[in-house]
Structure 1
Amino acid sequence: MKLSEIKKELDTLENVTFLLPNGTYVPEHFHVTEVGLITRNFIDCGGKVRNETVINFQLWDANDFEHRLKPKRLLDVITLSEKVLGIEDNDIEVEYQGETIGKYDLEFNGKDFILLNKKTACLAEDQCGIPQEKQKTKLSEIPSQTNSCTPGGGCC
């Protein structure tokens, strides 16, 4: 989800809710403790230099059970971040503390912001020696040969 998309959705909501991949909600007293710009410069295993820029939202819940982040307040923080940090319309990545800090992609279902598990992948599979997945074929789909062996046919 891009920054422009979350801003559009926040403009229509009364409450901000985040749904975790396991189907539970981030506690409603969460805070957005950071809105940041993260740029990664790296080399993949094939030797190609890559750059990635994401907008990072860090969610945190504390013992202030009466706290509720309203859409207008989050929009204000986003607007300030755009102005001060020069944030553009990049994809959003969300950090949330579980057993360790989890990083998630973001989607919206019309009511809730959905945290989607991120996955690692090889970016240079063609140079990494990863074998192509073999195509599976059913034996019943293999055309029969007209010159097949028959008992006494001398082909065996």
Structure 2
Amino acid sequence: MSNEKMTWQTFKNQLEKHPERVLQFQYAAGKLVAPSYHITEIKQAPVTSVDCGGKMNAWTEIIVQLWEPEEVQTDRAMIASKAMKIVHLVEQHIDLHPGATVKVEFGNAAFDTRQMYPKEFILDGEQLIVNLQPDATQCKAIDRGDTCGTPVTKDSCTPGGGCC
């Protein structure tokens, strides 16, 4: 699995490349968001942080929020071109950064709401499945070789590890 995060431009390109495909989101192994889902909003979030080594970090995220209504409204998910209509509507109001990291926010009665990364697009028959992977915490200071002021082993930036 690659640590590369999908950009907004890559995400959009995949939707545009397959406009007539049924757009599905897989949030766990074998679990798809209900076909009557809605894209309720698209958010652009600038993030600024300071890690445990004292280095400032900044990036932009674009979060696509999905909602499953309680009542089943359809047995077929939206097609990619309908999702792109929503994207174009949003882009009339917000200049979405093409290099921003994409996250998909989703939850239902059986799955706590969380933000996940699109790992890959899978073509399956008439479907375009966005395979989502959970976010994971990391120690940016350790990843760049900083000791955070403590002796470092690769796993020292864990709870109780003395770094983060």
Tell me the TM-score normalised to structure 2 length. Answer: 0.73
| Displaced runs of 4 or more, over 4 A | none
Using a 3 Å threshold, how does the CA distance of structure 1 residues 113 and 55 change in structure 2: closer, same or farther? same
Q: Which runs of 5+ in 2 are unaligned?
A: 1-5, 156-164
Partner of 1:114 in structure 2? 131
Structure with greater Cα Rg? 1
Deviates more, 1:125-134 or 1:100-109: 125-134
Of 102, 116, 119 in structure 1, the residue corresponding to residue 114 of structure 2 is 102
Percent identity of paired positions between Structure 1 and Structure 2: 23
Q: Look up the match of 1:131.
A: 152
Q: What TM-score results when the alignment is normalised by the length of structure 1?
A: 0.76
Task: Tell me if structure 2 keeps the 8 A contact 1:37–1:54.
Answer: yes
CA distance in 2, matches of 1:61, 1:130: 47
2:14 match: secondary structure = helix
Distance 1:114 1:130 in 2: 38
Kindly indicate which of the two structures has a greater share of residues assigned to strand. 2
Q: 2:59 — aligned with what?
A: 52
Aligned length: 134
**CA RMSD for the aligned pairs?**
2.0
Q: CA deviation at 1:133?
A: 4.7
The structure 1 residue matched to 2:10, chosen from 5, 29, 40, is: 5
Query: Per-residue deviation at 1:52?
Result: 1.7
Equivalent residues in 2 for 1:20-99 (5 A)? 20-67=27-74, 68-89=77-98, 90-98=100-108, 99=111
Instruction: Give structure 1 stretches of 5+ with no counterpart.
Output: 135-156
